Chains A and B, each alone.
Chain A
Amino acid sequence: MVGDPGPYLLLAAVLFVIGAFGVISRRGAITILMSIELMLNSANLALIAVSRFLPGDGGAGVPDGQVIGFLVLAIAAAEVAVGLAIVIAMFRLRESVDVDLARLLRW
């Protein structure tokens, strides 16, 4: 019986790091969006894992982690939708989703 949130939080940390690595090292905009989703997912996992082991009434577990996770879920879905719309608009302009091409505002 996994009695504390430790292993779950470690898994969440590993997934978060993998997601961050993906954002840094990949060029395709869609892969970057997928890595961002990995990071948001790992945050959700951490929230649920901790809330499962907090003392609640009648035993262990409070619903707050799940509620906040639900809100994070909704925001992540909204962000993916808008991000993909931006990617489509960018593709129409440049025929490519390479983010290195979207650097007009850099010095």
Chain B
Amino acid sequence: MSLVAGVVLGAISIQWVAFLVLAVVAIAAALVVVLHRSPVVGAMGLVTNFLCIAGIYVLLNAYFFAALQVIIYAGAVVVLITFVIMLLNLQPEAKGGPGVVPVALAALLGLALIAVVGRPLLEYAAPEAGPPAPDFGTVAQVGEALFTVYFYPFLAVSLALLSAMVGAVLLAKRRLED
């Protein structure tokens, strides 16, 4: 309620509210992915996480990248993962695993990492960045940078994608014909 009052009074901007909502849902979805025993539920949590991150990209004015995120990550990668889960008919994971001590240690280390990284981030008062450049996040600007400055990495990634396609088809074949 105080959040709503804050927005109405203009103290907290709508962007902050949107960011907080998206961040909380993204973190909750990520926790579903790593904690829920059924892989399909985890995959749907992953989709939710990717969609929230795409929303955060829109908040950051990176519209082209938000669209790419939804199309590639949420719309293709997760569909592929879900396909494989359904094809292999994977059941929810049985109990067990590494045991309580390693998992608890991992959780503690994770929290420690967040604390170590987070404190300077929240304390540091960055200089005001000012309004965004008019063509930031547009297809034209990203495309120009991709095809001029980053052309060799682009070619390398294309070759990597090609080899990944061939490799995936080969690895998943039933039997290697000699």
Contacts and interface: CB of A to CB of B under 8 A. Distances in A.
- Whether the complex brings A and B within 8 Å at their CB atoms is answered yes
Interface of A: 1-11, 13-15, 17-22, 24-28, 30-31, 33-35, 37-38, 41, 44-45, 48-49, 52-53, 55-64, 66-71, 73-82, 84-89, 91-92, 97
B168 A27 contact: no
A60 B97 contact: no
Contacts of B165: 78, 81
8 contacts: A17-B114, A26-B97, A30-B84, A48-B60, A53-B129, A63-B142, A71-B157, A85-B170
Nearest to A45: B53
B122 A6 contact: yes
A35 B110 CA distance: 14
Interface in B141-155: 141-142, 144-146, 149-150, 153-154
A29 to B, nearest CB: 9
A84 B86 CA distance: 12
A3 B149 CA distance: 28
Contact of B65 (A53, A55, A70, A77): A70
A8 B23 CA distance: 9
Majority secondary structure, B binding face: helix
A27 B43 CA distance: 15
Given A3-B128, A6-B121, A77-B76, 20 more contacts: A2-B59, A4-B124, A13-B113, A14-B114, A22-B34, A24-B103, A25-B34, A27-B98, A30-B84, A31-B34, A45-B57, A52-B62, A52-B129, A58-B135, A61-B133, A67-B149, A75-B157, A78-B160, A82-B164, A88-B172
A80 B19 contact: no
A32 B135 CA distance: 38
Contacts of B68: 70, 73
A41 B49 contact: yes
A15 B117 CA distance: 13
Contacts of A3: 126, 128-129
Majority secondary structure, A binding face: helix
A25 B97 contact: yes
Contact of A56 (B23, B27, B42, B133): B133
Interface in B82-120: 84-85, 87-88, 90, 93, 96-98, 102-103, 106-107, 110-111, 113-114, 117-118
Given A34-B81, A48-B60, A17 B130 contact: no
A106 to B, nearest CB: 15
Given A58-B134, A59-B130, A78-B160, A9 B84 contact: no
A53 B64 CA distance: 17
Q: Which interface residue of A26, A61, A88, A97 has the most chain B CB atoms within 10 A?
A: A61
